[in-house]
């Protein structure tokens, strides 16, 4: 818990430095948000956007009127500034996602019950996206190509981290359905934590839904799972911890634990999560993610392949993950052997 608090304090300090550089109208956007990590991530891009506008319009103040009347050319110049020599397609896309989220707040999220209207109605980002479909599709194709570059029959660790980053920071901006947007925003940290334990510790769906708060120790870090009355310890990849901490920190605020199992880790409206509930969340991410497949079986198989590649021990991989199927191990060996052949060509 102490470690989590220290990380949160660092994140808070980082965000505060960005926050005070922003104009008041953009500060109001962050004031309406409660996800500190997303604030810090988007704050970086929006500070750069405001710096860009100050250079472009040195004689003007960054008011709501300026943001409302902004021209398409300014949006395009900011999104693609430095591309492709100095920045990647990923940076361009992240800039666009940050602006899309900001303008959604300006034109929808800032609705005031007293005045019965938002800050303003014109959404220049949606206009820009509509008028520049080819350019945006080009970015998305570049991202998709980067994700699937090379051998693509399993997810690498880089793929794992890319999916986690997308689910945590970028997916909300790709959801157009208002009900889905509201539900995903509310339960996002739980979805990301589920992905983090699948990708960072190789947990199965059944192992996930039976976890208790006592089973997870971030100091080691490790997670304890139980099979046939025996306990097994699985290491958690330290690179996924930042995606797990927010859910651990605020779990009690979001969910009421069932009285017969108050320490159950993953909850759904006061009840244990079901396997179908987990699959539903993964299908939702898979539907929006423009890259490789996101499913529990594919993630677990990919984890096994990556572990076998790292350790070189089929027995250790089989025992660690509890794979009893010889057919599964045969597929793992065949996949790794085929990849090695491709790399030799």
Angle of CA points 133, 137, 141, to nearest 5°: 175
d(CA 202, CA 114): 50
d(CA 19, CA 244): 25
Residue 108 and residue 100 in contact, taking contact as beta carbons nearer than 8 Å? no
**Whether residue 10 has pLDDT greater than 70:** no
**Whether residue 203 has pLDDT greater than 70:** yes
Percent of the chain having pLDDT more than 90?
34
**Whether residue 1 has pLDDT greater than 50:** no
Q: Structural domain boundaries of the chain? A: 2-147, 174-344
Long-range Cβ pairs for the range 12-16 (8 Å, 24+): 12/36, 14/40, 15/39, 15/40, 15/43
Q: What is the mean pLDDT of the chain?
A: 83
The band of 315, judged by pLDDT with boundaries at 50, 70 and 90, is: confident
Of the two residues 135 and 276, the one the predictor is more confident about is 276
pLDDT tens digit sequence for 22-40: 999 999 998 887 665 566 6
Residue 200 is predicted with a pLDDT of 95
Residue 4 is predicted with a pLDDT of 46
Residue 173 is predicted with a pLDDT of 79
The band of 328, judged by pLDDT with boundaries at 50, 70 and 90, is: low
One-letter-per-residue 3-state SS of the chain: CHHHHHHHHHHHHHHHHHHCCCCHHHHHHHHCCCCHHHHHHHHHHHHHHHHHHHHHCCCCCCCHHHHHHCCHHHHHHHHCCCCCCCCCHHHHHHHHHHHHHHHHHHHHHCCECCCCECCCCCCHHHHHHHHCHHHHHHHHHHHHHHHCCCCCCCCCHHHHHHHHHHHHHHHHHHCCCHHHHHHHHHHHHHHHHHHHHHHHHCCCHHHHHCCEHHHEECCCCEEEEEECCEEEEEECCHHHHHHHHHHHHHHHHHCCCCCCCCCECCEECCEECCHHHHHHHHHHHHHHCCCCCCCHHHHHHHHHHHHHHHHCCHHHHHHHHCCCCHHHHHHHHHHHHHHHHHHHC
Instruction: Calculate mean pLDDT across residues 273-290.
Output: 89
pLDDT tens digit sequence for 140-193: 666 666 555 544 568 888 889 888 988 988 888 788 888 998 899 888 999 999
**Whether residue 257 has pLDDT greater than 80:** no
**Whether residue 2 has pLDDT greater than 50:** no
The band of 260, judged by pLDDT with boundaries at 50, 70 and 90, is: low
Residue 146 is predicted with a pLDDT of 58
Instruction: Calculate mean pLDDT across residues 219-227.
Output: 89
Of the two residues 64 and 114, the one the predictor is more confident about is 64
Residue 92 is predicted with a pLDDT of 87
Please state the φ and ψ torsions of residue 78, each to the nearest 5 degrees.
-70, -50
CATH among 1.10.443.10, 3.40.50.620, 1.10.357.10, 3.40.140.10 for 174-344: 1.10.443.10
């Amino acid at each position: 818990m102490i470690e989590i608090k220290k990380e949160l304090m660092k994140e808070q300090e980082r965000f505060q430095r960005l926050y005070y550089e922003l104009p008041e109208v953009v500060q109001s956007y962050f004031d309406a948000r409660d996800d500190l990590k997303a604030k810090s991530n988007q704050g970086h891009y929006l500070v750069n956007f405001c710096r860009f506008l100050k250079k472009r319009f040195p004689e003007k103040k960054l008011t709501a009127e300026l943001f409302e009347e902004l021209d398409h050319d300014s949006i395009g110049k900011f999104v693609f500034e430095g591309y492709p020599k100095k920045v990647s397609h990923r940076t361009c896309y992240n800039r666009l996602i940050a602006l899309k989220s900001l303008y959604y707040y300006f034109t929808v999220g800032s609705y005031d019950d007293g005045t019965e209207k938002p800050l303003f109605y014109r959404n220049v980002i949606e206009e820009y996206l509509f008028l520049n479909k080819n350019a945006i599709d080009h970015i998305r194709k570049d991202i998709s190509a980067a994700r699937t570059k090379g051998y693509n029959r399993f997810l690498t660790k880089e793929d794992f981290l890319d999916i986690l980053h997308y689910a945590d920071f970028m997916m909300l901006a790709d959801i157009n359905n208002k009900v889905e947007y509201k539900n995903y925003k509310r339960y996002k940290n739980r979805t990301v934590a589920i992905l983090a334990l699948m990708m960072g510790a190789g947990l199965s769906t059944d192992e996930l839904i039976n976890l208790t708060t006592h089973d997870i120790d971030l100091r080691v870090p490790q997670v304890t799972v139980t099979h046939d009355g025996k306990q097994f310890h699985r290491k958690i990849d330290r690179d996924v911890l930042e995606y797990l901490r927010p859910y651990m920190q605020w779990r009690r605020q979001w969910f009421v634990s069932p009285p017969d199992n108050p320490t159950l880790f993953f909850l759904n409206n006061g009840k244990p999560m079901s396997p179908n509930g987990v699959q539903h969340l993964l299908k939702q991410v898979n539907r929006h993610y423009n890259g490789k497949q996101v499913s529990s079986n594919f993630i677990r198989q990919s984890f096994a392949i990556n572990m076998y590649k790292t350790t070189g021990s089929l027995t250790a991989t089989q025992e660690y993950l509890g794979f009893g199927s010889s057919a599964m191990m045969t597929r793992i060996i065949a996949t790794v052997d085929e990849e090695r052949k491709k790399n030799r060509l």
